Amino acid sequence: MRSPIPEGVKWAGPAVALLFALSVYPLAYSVKVSLTAPGGGFTLRNYTRLLSDEFFHAAAAQTLFYTSAALIVEFLLGLGLALLADSLLRGRGLFRAGLLAPMLLPPVVAAVIWRLMYNPQFGVLNGTLRVLGIDTSKITWTSGEGSAMLSVLLVDIWEWTPFIFLLLSAGLQAIPAEPYEAARVDGASAWQVLRDVTLPLLRPTILLALVLRAMDLMRIFDQIFILTQGGPGFATETVSLYIYRTAFRFFNFGYAAAMSFVGLAVTTILTRSLIRLINPRRTR
């Protein structure tokens, strides 16, 4: 007698159940929590509160600044390094391996290393500056309001520029030689080849690299938490850090869940806008 349950359902059933338990149910429960008042019952107050929460607005603005600054610098550096590696005749593999080394470190480990380097008393950065005869008494790195954001940006750029470099380098390797040969026959300059041949053919890879990094940067948490914990004051507070404090320090899980969903919506909109900006034909 044949089993009433199809064979495919038998095999897919455990995977579907696991997906439901780890993804669908937590998502539905988070929606419920965000719409539940502290005393019980349905409420939209967790979402309307966001309109008047100045701390959330400041954290959102700093997250957007952090994302924009890191994305622009990492893309330009990654593209330049990818073009340099592609032009090398010897030592290309060693050059790539050296550049990819920072990306192999877990973000937490990288943040701890840089925190030690930033230490004003025994950190290697201030120590090197003192050897060069520079007064470091006023150089506080992560402790100064003006330098804290720059310090955490430097760590992210150091660690994740290799990611952009890796993707763009792979994209350059996939470009056929015929367009370059045709450009050389037409007498195109190096700038014209880059503008009219390399960048248009590299556009899908650029889109992929920027979208992946933008989504990752919008939820930045671990590096800033270890380096500054959002300080000094509110200087490096991001949306992820603010959600963490709201949920696990003030135990306001409903408001934290509401901020998470708003952050997800904003990330989706910004990612879609980035796709439209770089490759408008795919969105028609």
Two tokens at 150? 């720059």
| CA Rg value for the chain | 24
Residue 1 belongs to some domain of the structure = no
Helix (H) or strand (E) holding 280: none
Which whole number is the average pLDDT over 190-204? 91
- Name the residue among 197, 200, 213, 201 with its Cα closest to residue 165: 213
Q: Residue 231, by phi and psi: left (phi above 0), alpha (psi -120 to 50) or beta?
A: beta
Count the domains in the chain: 1
Strands (E) in the chain, as ranges, are: none
Of 234, 232, 263, 260, residue with least CA distance to 246? 260
Residue 166 resides in a domain: yes
At residue 175, the 3 state secondary structure works out as coil
10 within domain boundaries: no
Q: Which of 11-25, 86-100, 213-227 has the highest mean pLDDT?
A: 213-227
- Residue 249 and residue 275: Cα distance in Å, rounded? 37
Whether the predicted pLDDT of 33 surpasses 90: yes
Q: Among 106-110, 162-166, 184-188, 227-231, where is mean pLDDT lowest?
A: 184-188
Task: Say what the pLDDT of residue 1 is.
Answer: 46
Provide the β-strand partners of residue 40: none
Q: pLDDT of 75-94, one tens digit each? A: 999 999 999 998 887 777 88
Determine the structural domain holding residue 81 and report its residue range: 66-237
Rounded to two decimals, what is the model's pTM? 0.88
Q: Provide the percentage of residues in the chain whose pLDDT is more than 70.
A: 94
CATH of the domain at 212: 1.10.3720.10
Question: 133: helix, coil or strand?
Answer: coil
Return the higher-pLDDT residue of 275 and 71: 71
User: Could you tell me if residue 184 is inside a domain?
Assistant: yes
The dihedral through the CA atoms of 165, 267, 104, 151 has a sign that is positive
Q: Encode pLDDT of 54-82 as tens digits.
A: 999 999 999 999 999 999 999 999 999 99
In a domain, 150, yes or no: yes
SS3 state at 136: coil
Average pLDDT, the chain: 89
Domain membership of residue 11 (yes or no) is no
Residue 25 maps to a domain = no
Whether 276 is in a domain gets the answer no
Whole-angstrom Cα distance, residue 261 to residue 253? 12
| Percent helix / strand / coil, the chain, rounded to 5 | 75, 0, 25
Flag whether pLDDT at 161 surpasses 60.
Answer: yes
